[in-house]
Amino acid sequence: METLTYKEAMEEIEQIIEKLEANKLDVDELGAKVKRVAQLVAFCKARLHATGEEVENILRSMEE
């Protein structure tokens, strides 16, 4: 995936969801946008997991 921040990914997800809710996507765009949301959600989950591990490692090192 391109260089993307968590915030940018969440903003893009929100924009796509707004278009979906407002019925502003035509049938030709729908599949691509749903696929993009799935990619962005996977990216966000991975970032959260990595950040969680990083925080745990920092906390462990502080205990030593």
The count of structural domains within the chain is 1
Q: What's the domain range around 52? A: 6-63
Classify residue 10: in a domain, yes or no.
yes
Give the largest CA-CA distance in the chain: 57
Which pair of structure tokens corresponds to residue 59?
Answer: 């906390």
CA distances from 46 to 28, 57, 63 (A): 29, 17, 26
Classify residue 1: in a domain, yes or no.
no
pLDDT of residue 1 exceeding 90, the answer is no
| Whole-number average pLDDT of the chain | 93
Query: What pLDDT score does 2 carry?
Result: 67
- Structure confidence by residue, pLDDT tens digits, 5-55: 999 999 999 999 999 999 998 888 999 999 999 999 999 999 999 999 999
Answer for the pair 51, 7: CB distance below 8 angstroms, yes or no: no
